[in-house]
Amino acid sequence: MSFEEEWAELRAAAEQRGAMRLNGVPAEGGGGGGAPDLVVNRDDLGRIGSDAYELRGRLSKDGDHARPTTFDAAIALTNGEFVSGSALLKVHDRWNTHMKTLLDACARISNHLDYTKAQHSKDDVKIQGEVTAVSKLTEYLR
| pLDDT tens, residue by residue, 89-120 | 999 999 999 999 999 998 888 888 667 767 77
pLDDT digits (tens, 9 = 90+) for 34-57: 565 555 556 666 777 788 888 899
User: Residue 86: which pLDDT band, with cuts at 50, 70 and 90?
Assistant: very high
Cα–Cα distance between 11 and 34 in angstroms, integer?
33
- In contact, 101 and 54? CB cutoff 8 Å: no
Sequence spans of domains, the chain? 40-141
For residue 6, the SS3 value is: helix
Altogether, the residues listed in the chain come to a count of 142
- DSSP 8-state symbol, 19: -
Distances (CA, A) of 99 to 19, 53, 111: 56, 15, 18
Distances (CA, A) of 126 to 32, 34, 46, 119, 132: 11, 13, 26, 10, 10
